């Protein structure tokens, strides 16, 4: 039996070849990594240019549109031309109510105000402002739009009263629009105009700006009542009457 031993020179050649192969693989891997890094850098630059020349202008346009499409807001001591006022502004005391049509406490407050109104109407005027809290009252926004659209036909207070009087009915309906339209029919409103007005910026912005003004004035829940600009802590019937009479007396003294 003959045993052939490997030639030392061949072993060195094979070892050298293996080393060359490994170095070549390492070089290729390094080149691939460098190319990938360059591609990533190019992609970042392209994205930055895209953001600068495309996204940024669009974002600025959206911001500008949002800012300029918002109307003015009013404090509880101011009365806007588009405010809904019950009574006459010639009276010295203002009662400003921020309310949500789907809020049960607001419906109660409306009953309270209706009950005491004959007592205070010669001393005060009542201003209603929208403050729909849609997180807990999903139909409140739509109700405000219908009330505001009815106001475009001079029937805001009538729709206001219908919405509060029938709150228990429409609050439980999945889509209350037909119910709201039935109130409009009872009020002899033009339904086509009502449906059209609900979509207008005039109506939508009125509700939105009332809410913005409420936020600015410290309104956080409904109902919130201000008498001559001062927030009422406990708006019970007796408390409201007491504060109105006090403010009325002060106005006479000042006069």
Is residue 245 a part of any domain in this protein? Answer: yes
| CA distances for 117 relative to 83, 95, 109, 246, angstroms | 19, 11, 12, 16
Identify whether 111 is part of a domain. yes
With 0-12 / 13-18 / 19 or more C-beta atoms within 10 angstroms meaning exposed / middle / buried, residue 119 is: middle
Report if residue 225 sits inside a domain. yes
- Predicted confidence at residue 198, as pLDDT, reads 97
Q: Which domain holds residue 213?
A: 84-254
**Is residue 141 domain-resident?**
yes
- Name the more confident of 102 and 23: 102
Domain total in the chain: 1
Query: Lowest-pLDDT range, 27-31, 180-184, 250-254?
Result: 27-31
Q: Looking at residue 36, what is its pLDDT?
A: 76
Give me the pLDDT at residue 95, please.
98
Percentage of the chain beyond pLDDT 70 is 84
Confidence at residue 223, expressed as pLDDT on a 0 to 100 scale: 98
pLDDT (tens digit per residue) in 70-81: 789 999 999 999
What would the mean pLDDT of 125-144 be, rounded to a whole number?
A: 98
pLDDT of residue 18: 63
Give the integer Cα–Cα distance in Å for 78 and 239.
Answer: 22
Asked whether residue 35 carries a pLDDT value surpassing 90, the answer given is: no
In a domain, 29, yes or no: no
- 59: Cβ contacts below 8 Å, ≥ 6 apart: none
CATH number for the domain including 240? Answer: 3.40.30.10
Q: Which helix (H) or strand (E) holds 17?
A: helix 8-50
R_g over Cα of the chain: 35
CB 101 within 8 A of CB 147: yes
pTM of the model: 0.74
Per-residue model confidence as pLDDT tens digits over 177-233: 999 999 999 999 999 999 999 999 999 999 999 999 999 999 999 999 999 999 999
pLDDT 10s digits, 41-68? 787 777 777 666 755 554 443 333 343 4
Give strand pairing partners of 93. Answer: 124
**8 domain residue, yes or no:** no
**Averaged pLDDT score across all residues of the chain:** 87
DSSP string of 59-99, one letter each residue: HHHHHHHHHHH------TT---TT-EEES-TTSSEEEEEEE
Residue 252 confidence (pLDDT) above 50: yes
* Burial of 252 per CB tally in 10 Å (0-12, 13-18, 19+): exposed
The reply to whether 28 falls in a domain is no
């Amino acid at each position: 039996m003959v045993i052939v031993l490997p030639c030392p020179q061949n072993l060195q050649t094979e070892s050298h070849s293996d080393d060359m192969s490994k170095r070549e693989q390492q070089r290729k891997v390094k080149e691939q990594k460098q190319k990938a890094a360059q591609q990533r850098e190019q992609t970042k630059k392209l994205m930055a240019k895209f953001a600068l020349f495309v996204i940024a202008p669009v974002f600025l346009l959206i911001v500008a549109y949002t800012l300029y499409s918002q109307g003015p807001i009013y404090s509880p001591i101011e009365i806007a031309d588009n405010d809904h006022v019950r009574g006459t502004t010639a009276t010295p005391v203002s009662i400003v109510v921020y309310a949500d049509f789907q809020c049960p406490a607001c419906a109660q407050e409306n009953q309270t105000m209706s009950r005491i109104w004959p007592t205070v109407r010669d001393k005060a005027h009542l201003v209603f402002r929208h403050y729909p809290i849609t997180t807990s009252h999903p139909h409140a926004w739509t109700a405000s739009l219908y009330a505001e659209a009815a106001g475009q036909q001079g029937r805001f207070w009538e729709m206001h009263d219908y919405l509060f009087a029938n709150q228990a009915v429409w609050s439980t309906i999945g889509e209350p629009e037909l119910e709201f339209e039935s109130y409009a029919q009872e009020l002899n409103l033009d339904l086509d105009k009502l449906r059209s007005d609900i979509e207008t910026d005039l109506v939508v912005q009125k509700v939105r700006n009332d809410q913005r003004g409420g936020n600015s004035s410290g309104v956080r829940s409904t109902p919130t009542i201000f008498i001559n600009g001062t927030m009422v802590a406990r708006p019970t019937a007796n408390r409201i009457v007491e504060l109105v009479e006090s403010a009325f007396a002060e106005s006479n003294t000042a006069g």
